[in-house]
């Protein structure tokens, strides 16, 4: 009888551990794979990223954060360019936010074509790929509702030789 009680106690511990892991995976952390070349040169096709799903619940996102979007049937990785309520546009390859030039502080591929002024709705973000020549992003989909954002990748975990923080 004591063996059965010990077995039940051990099984309960494992069930609790598995439950915690499942909850963490669903609500706190997930992984995603970068598919395609739209985030080159900063992220490459096949990179596997660890994604924080908590930020959006407490803090939201800042300009130039990289985010993972749910865009059925897959996930996209893009960079936040415009925040809720802002007016953004590109003219001659320069980003204007609310009429002021904002310098992009990350490496991009190709020129950014002119984008007419867009007013970003409340609870939405304007996102672009870093490879402006080869990216389906808000130029194609329009501003992205915050509910479509899965989270913010913070660590590239694969390939292991390129393990590093995502910026």
DSSP of 43-68, one letter per residue?
Answer: S-TT-EEEEESSHHHHT---TT-EEE
Structure tokens at 158: 């694969």
Please tell me which residue in 9, 13, 38, 87 is annotated as part of the active site.
Answer: 38
Catalytic residue of the set 9, 40, 56, 78: 78
For the four alpha carbons of 83, 84, 85 and 91, in that order, the dihedral sign comes to: positive
Sign of the alpha-carbon dihedral angle for 131, 135, 140, 141: negative
Query: Does the annotation mark 78 as catalytic?
Result: yes
The C-alpha atoms of residue 35 and residue 44 are separated, in whole angstroms, by: 8
Tell me which residue of 152, 124, 141, 160 sits closest to 65, measured CA to CA. 152
Q: What are phi and psi of 151, to 5 degrees?
A: 170, -170
- Report the catalytic residues: 38, 78
């Amino acid at each position: 009888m004591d063996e059965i009680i010990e077995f039940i106690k051990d099984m309960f511990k494992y069930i609790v551990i598995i439950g915690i892991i499942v909850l963490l995976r669903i609500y706190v952390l997930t992984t995603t794979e970068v598919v395609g070349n739209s985030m080159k040169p900063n992220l490459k096709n096949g990179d596997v990223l660890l994604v924080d799903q908590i930020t959006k619940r407490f803090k939201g996102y800042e300009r130039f954060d990289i985010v993972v979007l749910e865009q059925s049937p897959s996930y996209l990785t893009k960079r936040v360019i415009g925040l809720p309520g802002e007016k953004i546009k590109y003219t001659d390859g320069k980003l204007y936010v609310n009429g002021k030039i904002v310098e992009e502080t990350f490496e991009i591929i190709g020129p950014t074509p002119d984008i007419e002024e867009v007013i970003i709705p409340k609870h939405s973000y304007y996102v672009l790929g870093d490879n402006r020549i080869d990216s389906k992003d808000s130029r194609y989909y329009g501003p992205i509702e915050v509910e479509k954002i899965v989270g913010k990748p913070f660590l590239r975990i694969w390939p292991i030789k390129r393990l590093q923080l995502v910026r």
